[in-house]
Amino acid sequence: MKKAFTMAEILLSLTIIGVVAAITLPSLTGNINERTWNTQRKALYARFSQAISLMPALNGYGTYIEGNDSTSAVDTAAETFVTAGLSKVMKINNICDSEHIQDCGITSQYIDMAGSKHDYALTLKTWNPTFLPERMNNISIDTKAAAFETANGESILVYYNPRCIPNNNITNVYSQTFTQSFMCANFIYDLNGNKGPNTVGKDIGTITALYATSPNVVAPMPSSPTSYRQTDFAAAQKFCNTNDNNSRLTNLDELTALFYNMNLFNIIETNYWSSTVESSTLAWRLEVGHGARRIKERTDWAYVRCIQR
């Protein structure tokens, strides 16, 4: 007697296969997307680092008009930085002013790391309100953003400070310096333009170029959407190293870049430890409320934010 499956058994088997596929396929697709985005991020960072290193200086592009009480950058400063500077050392297909950023693939809204939707700010000061004259050598810089598309298909929004300065070292434990003047260019990238998901930590991230000469290019990506509680320096380092094998504590420039992009990364206005040390008893932290770097005793307390290795 020949044995065979009944129609009911075949339908049941197909139903089970369909249910399993429906459960596992989104996870599998998500993992593939994550790996793709990680690879794209690293490649984009490498191209930016190489391009920025070829520029003789990052400041001075565009013009500005000085007034009695403030200095306002002309609207084309960021656009000029891209057209006259960055495009000479990097392949760029399309450049857009602040009123036409969507023509370069920048969406009107992004989803931050905490899951909330926001409109993109179109000037430096509306992106980060702490860019104030008293923290930038008494100069008010509020350049309009610009956007461009790379030859590889990424859409980039750029905020630019034409008066950025070189790094200054601090040796006095009681001194402080504001970080706003160190930022030359801050790039918000979208790896696939307006295709989505337009979410920070997935297709959206940041690259920041600090210091007018001998620039440092950083692209920190937090390993979680929230900050860890206040703790001393030793516990801060230990937390990032043991909480996740793929995370670490930010160095000072990486922490500074997170501060510039506090809206994307859900950075709260408090003090954060960096991994940068001054001595066996002193370490650097950043005070997000006003953007100051300070050297503090390692026994002091501050919040912790870990980033992906």
16's CB contacts (< 8 A; 6+ apart) are none
User: Measured between alpha carbons, how far is 179 from 214 in angstroms, rounded to an integer?
Assistant: 16
User: Measured between alpha carbons, how far is 278 from 36 in angstroms, rounded to an integer?
Assistant: 38
Q: What is the DSSP letter of 307?
A: E
Domains and CATH numbers, the chain: 36-218 (no CATH), 228-308 (3.10.100.10)
pLDDT on residue 69: 43
pLDDT on residue 68: 41
**pLDDT tens for the 309 residues of the chain, in order:** 556 667 776 677 677 666 655 665 554 455 667 788 999 999 999 999 999 999 999 999 987 765 444 455 667 899 999 999 999 999 999 999 999 999 999 998 999 999 999 999 999 999 999 998 888 878 888 899 999 999 999 999 999 999 999 886 554 544 568 999 999 999 999 999 988 899 999 999 999 999 999 999 999 999 988 888 889 999 998 888 876 678 999 999 999 999 999 999 999 889 999 999 999 999 999 999 999 999 999 999 999 999 998
pTM of the prediction? 0.87
The two tokens of residue 35 are 């790996």
Q: Which of 3, 155, 142 is nearest to 75 (CA)?
A: 142
Check if the beta carbon of residue 221 is closer than 8 Å to that of residue 41. yes
